[in-house]
Structure 1
Amino acid sequence: MAIRTAKLSDCRGLAEVHDAAWRFAYRGVLPGNELERMISRRGPDWWKKAVNRRVPIVVLESDTTVRGYITYGASRVRTLPYRAEIYELYIQPEYAGLGFGTRLFRTVQQRLARRGHDSLVVWCLAENIPACAFYERLGGRIVSTAEETFGQKPVAKVAFGFEPIESDGSEP
């Protein structure tokens, strides 16, 4: 398994991981038609635009196939004391629970630390129990809650705050 910055040739793989991971994580949590709408808009063309705009995307690759990804950047919630945010972390369902999500998370956490971001936040749907447990195991603590509406359904979400880490100086 390799972890690296996304490139244009990854766009189809990114779309496939997004599709599979979202169906796995959110079926039964989000309304079905809303879930399908959200998945369908994230095809290869969407990812191509993201890569071309230099959205920070790091991929997990095995045998030239994207198996997971993470996106990150500036925190979108200015009222929280976190300057950086991990927006998404998704792994193909068959690779979940094997430590690859932790490797992706720590890679980005170290990249952010080297750029002077002393802490970060991750938002997660509260009903996504495996994801919430994952962020807690990584040392996140709940620092905020909110609600987002998907279709007509209000869904609770939680923010996990992560305190500063020490960068080891290497580029993971």
Structure 2
Amino acid sequence: MSDCDALAAIHNEAWLNAYRGLLNGVELQRLVSRRSPGWWKGALDRGVTIKVIEVADEPAGYATYGPCRLQNLAAEGEIYELYLKPEYQGLGFGRTLFGSVRKELKGRNLEGLAVQVLSENQPARNFYRALGGKLGAKTWYRSAGKRFELSIYVWPETTSG
């Protein structure tokens, strides 16, 4: 399986697992279908920073990250996405991936970290709180005519976690 196929599969499985029931089924399928292997090839070609975690030499999850895009936060780095295939959730792989990304951001001299989470996604909110994230702000996202609240978790320093 190519890297792009693997990233698309991880994204699709994680999104369907996380957002089924939170997003309209048709809208969810539309959003998932946008992240085809071709989309991932374009992302890689544009230089999007992606870290993949493997289990038994198979991609199990990924994170995308870089400079913080959010204003007025005590964070210079941001994890844009962190997803695992459902069968690897709750086993410590997300914590490992998160820690690896924090370390890399610190190595780039990006102090502090922010993550945006759909507020209705309680498992993700619990995950980031368990890693020491503090609710720093809330914002909104509009999709298919519906307004969704986003919770922004912050870690002012990247030295632990």
TM, length-normalised to structure 1: 0.88
> Which blocks of at least 5 consecutive residues in structure 2 are unaligned?
none
* Contact kept? 1:60, 1:104, Cα under 8 Å: yes
Amino acid in structure 2 at the alignment position of 1:47: W
Q: Which residue is equivalent to 1:19?
A: 12
1:55 alignment partner, one of 48, 54, 65: 48
Cα drift, residue 23 of structure 1:
0.2
Q: Percent identity?
A: 44
How many angstroms apart in 2 are the aligned matches of 1:28 and 1:150? 15
Q: Return 49-58 or 84-93, whichever deviates more.
A: 49-58
**Rounded Cα–Cα distance in structure 1 between residues aligned with 2:94 and 2:100:** 10
Aligned to 1:30: 23
8 Å Cα contact 2:74-2:154 kept in structure 1: no
Match of 1:3 in 2: none
In the TM superposition, structure 1's runs of 4+ consecutive aligned residues that sit over 4 Å from their partners are: none
**Gaps spanning 5+ residues in structure 1: where?**
1-7, 168-172
Shift of 1:30: 1.2
Q: Which residue of 2 aligns with 1:170?
A: none
User: Any idea what the Cα deviations from partners look like across 1:8-52, whole Å, max 9, x if unmatched?
Assistant: 931100000000000000011112222111110101111111112
How many residue pairs get aligned? The number is 160
Residue of structure 2 aligned with 1:152, choices 138, 145, 149: 145
Report the equivalent of 1:77. 70
For residues 145 and 24 of structure 2, the distance between their equivalents in structure 1, rounded to whole angstroms, comes to 8
Aligned-partner Cα distance in 1 for 2:72–2:27: 28
The 3 A distance-change label for structure 1 pair 87 and 9 is same
* 2:138 counterpart letter in structure 1: T
Query: Is the counterpart of residue 64 in structure 1 residue 57 in structure 2?
Result: yes
Partner of 1:89 in structure 2? 82
Deviating more after overlay: 68-77 vs 58-67: 58-67
Map of 2:33 onto structure 1:
40
- Root mean square deviation of aligned Cα: 1.5
For residue 32 of structure 2, give the secondary structure of its aligned residue in structure 1. Answer: helix
Q: Residues of 2 paired with 1:63 and 1:140: CA distance?
A: 30
The one-letter code matched in structure 2 to 1:147 is W
TM-score, with normalisation over the residues of structure 2?
0.94
